[in-house]
Amino acid sequence: MINVLIVDDEYYAVKGLISGVRWDRIGVDEVYEAYHASAAQRILSERNVDIMICDIEMPDESGLELMSWARDNGLNLETIVVTCHSEFAYAQKALQLGGCDYLLKPVIYTDMEEVVRRAILKVEEKRKASLTDERYREYVRLWNRQRPLLIERFWQDLLDRRISASRSSIEASLSAYELPIGPMERVCPILISIESWEKTLNERDEDIMEFALRKAAEEMILSELPGDVIQDHRGNSLVMLYAGERPAEEERVRALCSRFIEACRRYFYCSVSCYVGETVPIAEIWSPYLALLDAEYRNVSRTAEVILCRELRPSAPALPPEAFGCVPEWAEWLERGNAEAVLAGLDAALDRVPPAELTADTLKAFYHALMQCIYYVLYRRGRTASQLAEEGNWPDAAAVAKSLSGFKRWAEEAVRSVVRLPFAPSGTASPVIQKIKTYVLEHLDQELSREELASYVYLNPAYLSRLFRKETGMVLTEYILREKMRRASELLLASDRSISEIAESLGYGNFSYFARLFRKVYGVTPHEYRKSLRKSS
């Protein structure tokens, strides 16, 4: 739609243009008229006008002043100036103010039609350009909205080895995702480990709170340092600090993480630890990433702290420094079923030990390190050590460490036995989860915490929580609540005990709190539940 405004203080000049120009033929839909600048300003403010035909000489306010007003108010008009004067100064001033053409009075109508046609073409070109710009701006908005997800996908692919660790592959991916780091720059990973919640949360609430914690980490840890906060494919929350070409400043990182931990305790009602990994070139990120997971898995004593992974070196038996960083990698390859990679890594670690230090004690340390990987993978596969022992003879560390060749033969047999062992059938919980479930059922009369259950199976609370949720699809605290309420429903139906007695038998001293939890699970109060069931029976 094209709208035109004619502004002229001469009444018959306006009417002559309205009647003499074939507006419909040249593509004009609406023609407005004004006889002085103030009336024109009112129409321009209230209507969508594309082209203004304006006389320069008008009383009170000239056409040039009207054009200046339109420009100052951001009106995107094509203006055709008409005047009785042929002086170039008028035309020059009109063009400076955005006029697109200049006609002398008396106006020949066919000339006006041609001038208006040219103005319409300019209007349509502007509209196309504006539409293109708006689409581009929308794509920019969409890209900026999706960019955090793309960055997260990049890190997930790299940490899961779907992107090659070669410089060219990483460089191409960094360019595609517009990450502000180069392929040879250094990265410091930080694992945010949620150890406990002060409030009972269901699965949805826990997801929301974990999202809130990642946003808080962005605001607090990344307020002074460049980086991104992501969630890996295992459900871990990670801060990736971009350290340039130098290692991250340890004390600064520790201070920011400490502030974040305190904020989580105060505002998010949870206990959090931050595990800080080694600063490495981006192509080498896999090793410190696995070290973070291993550090969290092994830590069962320190809570609500900033923990540097290098502080968690095992003490006894002492694994040689040449081999320490390899252990998480062995576990990862073993879980993937790549026996050759594990054995090649073990051989490489043994080769790096100086011959004078390759003693029986050293081989025992390697034995225990490999067994640690094996037990970890057995948990993940839902199998027990006794099932693995059925595969063959499993000597102790002393027997294995008598010779290097004997150790290597045992290691190959052990690794291939684990790889051959299939995953537990679908729907079968791992031994640690079965043990947790049994413990919960046997202690429904007590107040159970995630920390107590983690201590019972010798696991880090955060690691146990993720393992339980992955295998059962439920948050551990929600599972405990549902089991307690299931027992309560059985007692309400099968016994004549009072509701207060039933609440106390399940560890709830506060009757009102028990009633609220029961209603949360079953949608009715304990009294209503008992009454409705007894009526139906």
pLDDT, tens digit, 9 for 90 and up, residues 71-105: 888 888 888 988 876 554 555 555 655 556 778 88
Which of 133, 22, 271, 190 has the alpha carbon at shortest distance from 4? 22
Tens digit of pLDDT for each residue in 386-427? 656 555 557 778 888 888 888 898 889 888 888 887 655 545
pTM (2 decimals)? 0.56
Cα angle, residue 194 at apex, residues 229 and 454 outer, rounded to 5°: 145
- Residue 225, exposed/middle/buried by CB under 10 A (0-12, 13-18, 19+)? middle
pLDDT higher than 90, residue 259:
yes
DSSP-assigned beta bridge partners for residue 191: 238, 275
Q: Where do the H-state alpha helices sit in 299-338?
A: 321-324, 327-336
Which of 34, 3, 8 has the alpha carbon at shortest distance from 116? 3
DSSP-assigned beta bridge partners for residue 231: 237
pLDDT higher than 90, residue 183:
no
Tokens of 223: 């307020």
Q: Rounded to whole angstroms, what are the CA distances from 183 to 222, 396, 436, 466, 490?
A: 21, 45, 44, 32, 61
- How far apart CA 275 and CA 282 sit, in angstroms, is 18
pLDDT more than 90, % of the chain: 24
Cα dihedral 438, 454, 313, 407, rounded to 10, equals 0
pLDDT higher than 90, residue 250:
no
Residue 460 near residue 470, CB atoms below 8 Å: no
Find the largest Cα–Cα distance for the chain: 117
DSSP-assigned beta bridge partners for residue 411: none
Model confidence at 488, in pLDDT bands (50, 70, 90)?
A: very high
Q: Rounded to whole angstroms, what are the CA distances from 170 to 111, 160, 248?
A: 63, 13, 21
- How far apart CA 304 and CA 499 sit, in angstroms, is 38
Domains defined along the chain, listed by start:
3-129 (3.40.50.2300), 155-382 (3.30.70.270), 431-536 (1.10.10.60)
DSSP-assigned beta bridge partners for residue 240: 189, 228
Model confidence at 4, in pLDDT bands (50, 70, 90)?
A: very high
Tens digit of pLDDT for each residue in 99-126? 567 788 888 999 999 989 989 998 888 8
pLDDT higher than 70, residue 155:
yes
Which amino acid belongs to residue 96?
Q
Lowest mean per-residue pLDDT among 293-302, 506-515, 521-530:
293-302
Model confidence at 315, in pLDDT bands (50, 70, 90)?
A: very low
Tens digit of pLDDT for each residue in 346-398? 888 888 888 877 888 888 888 888 887 887 777 666 566 565 655 555 777 88
Query: What pLDDT, on a 0 to 100 scale, did the predictor assign at position 109?
Result: 92
Residue 7 near residue 54, CB atoms below 8 Å: yes
Find how far residue 252's CA is from the centre of its chain: 24
Whole-angstrom Cα Rg for the chain? 38
* End-to-end alpha carbon distance in the chain: 74
| Strand pairing report for 186-197 and 237-244 | antiparallel
- How far apart CA 527 and CA 212 sit, in angstroms, is 37
Q: What are phi and psi of 31, to 5 degrees?
A: -120, 120
In the predicted model, what is the mean pLDDT of residues 50-58?
88
Residue 112 near residue 101, CB atoms below 8 Å: no
Query: What pLDDT, on a 0 to 100 scale, did the predictor assign at position 382?
Result: 58
- 82 three-class SS: strand
Neighbours of 79 (CB within 10 A): 25
- How far apart CA 117 and CA 78 sit, in angstroms, is 11
Residue 228 near residue 155, CB atoms below 8 Å: yes
In the predicted model, what is the mean pLDDT of residues 147-163?
84
- For the chain, helix (H) and strand (E) counts, in that order, are 24, 11
Tokens of 30: 């609406």
Model confidence at 435, in pLDDT bands (50, 70, 90)?
A: confident
pLDDT higher than 90, residue 307:
yes
